[in-house]
């Protein structure tokens, strides 16, 4: 038993201490798995059990002012991260097909690691989206897609901040930060001006933007499969590709169910209504013709009276 515990402890130290990037391993919520897992565990328990039970007999909270501040903070953080990542990495310094991680202690390498850590903290902040749904009793929006996405992003970003804070995989955070600037901008406007909630075309194009995002991520991480001489670890594609493919499929499925199928049903209903109306119109017209013909024939017979002959 003692040998087993010793082996387990050695394995823990190897995975979470020796393999971890020493530059970031001492940062809050990095490297130590129990911290992040405890946070995610509380998140799942609250949004799936404790929160709904606590709100069951309570009125929904009015969080408009809180949401305005929250969305504004998200826009600021994501916009700053997006601009900084472009200027210091992807616009001028990084290669798009293969970019290894710079594990040095240079100012530039530390700056990139800080961006990765900031993105990780933003993904933790994103968990409040679901908490706000619970407090506002918007339980219909707490879908599997929503919870899975938020939960999975925190796990993946923890891994990036712990082991590979920089390099090829960071483009995912850059793209996602831009998408979130647009998304939280929409949320901010709809809270500040509720009339905009009826503008469905906004939500439609934001979903399209998210689909493009995940498709781009699939292509970007898929490049590692074919770039055999890339210094960035190729095995990360085995983690990111299934995740991004799954998210792409879920978002496409959501888009089809939300925007394509209702439209098809509406068009089919209108077509069927037109066809039924046309058919009923033909039937009514035929009925009128027959009825009028019978009436006119009877009048002619009455007018002819005894002049009519039966052959």
Which residues form the catalytic set?
A: 149
d(CA 263, CA 256): 10
Cβ atoms of 149 and 249 within 8 Å: the answer is: no
185-208 CB burial, b ≥16 within 10 A, e <16: bbbbbbbeeeeeeeeeebeeebbe
Collapsing DSSP to helix, strand or coil, 24 comes out as coil
Cβ atoms of 150 and 125 within 8 Å: the answer is: no
Which structure tokens are listed for 113?
């690691």
Cβ atoms of 85 and 115 within 8 Å: the answer is: yes
Helix (DSSP H) and strand (DSSP E) numbers for the chain: 11, 0
Q: Euclidean distance between the first and final Cα of the chain, in Å?
A: 117
Cβ atoms of 258 and 141 within 8 Å: the answer is: no
3-state percent helix, strand, coil for the chain, nearest multiple of 5? 80, 0, 20
d(CA 58, CA 39): 25
């Amino acid at each position: 038993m003692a040998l087993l515990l010793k082996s387990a402890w050695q394995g823990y130290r190897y995975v979470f201490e020796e393999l971890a990037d020493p530059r970031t391993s001492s940062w809050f919520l990095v490297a130590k798995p129990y911290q992040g897992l405890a946070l995610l565990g509380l998140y799942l328990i609250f949004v799936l059990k404790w929160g709904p039970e606590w709100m069951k007999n309570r009125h929904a909270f009015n969080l408009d002012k809180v949401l305005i501040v929250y969305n504004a903070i998200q826009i600021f953080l994501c916009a700053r991260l997006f601009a900084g990542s472009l200027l210091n990495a992807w616009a001028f310094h990084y290669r798009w097909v293969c970019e290894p991680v710079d594990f040095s202690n240079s100012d530039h390498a530390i700056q990139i690691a800080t961006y990765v850590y900031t993105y990780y903290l933003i993904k933790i902040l994103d968990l409040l989206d679901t908490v706000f749904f619970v407090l506002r009793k918007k339980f219909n929006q707490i879908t599997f897609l929503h919870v899975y996405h938020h939960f999975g992003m925190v796990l993946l970003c923890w891994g990036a901040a712990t082991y590979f804070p920089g390099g090829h995989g960071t483009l995912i955070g850059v793209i996602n930060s831009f998408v979130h600037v647009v998304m939280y901008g929409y949320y901010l406007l709809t809270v500040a001006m509720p009339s905009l909630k009826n503008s469905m075309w906004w939500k439609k194009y934001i979903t399209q933007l998210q689909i493009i995002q995940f498709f781009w991520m699939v292509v970007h991480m898929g490049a590692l499969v074919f770039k055999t001489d890339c210094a960035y670890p190729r095995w990360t594609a085995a983690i990111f590709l299934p995740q991004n493919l799954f998210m792409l499929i879920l978002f496409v499925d959501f888009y089809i169910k939300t925007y394509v199928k209702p439209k098809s049903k509406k068009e089919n209903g209108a077509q069927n209504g037109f066809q039924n109306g046309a058919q009923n119109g033909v039937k009514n017209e035929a009925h009128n013709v027959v009825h009028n013909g019978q009436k006119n024939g009877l009048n002619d017979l009455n007018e002819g009276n005894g002049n009519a002959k039966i052959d």
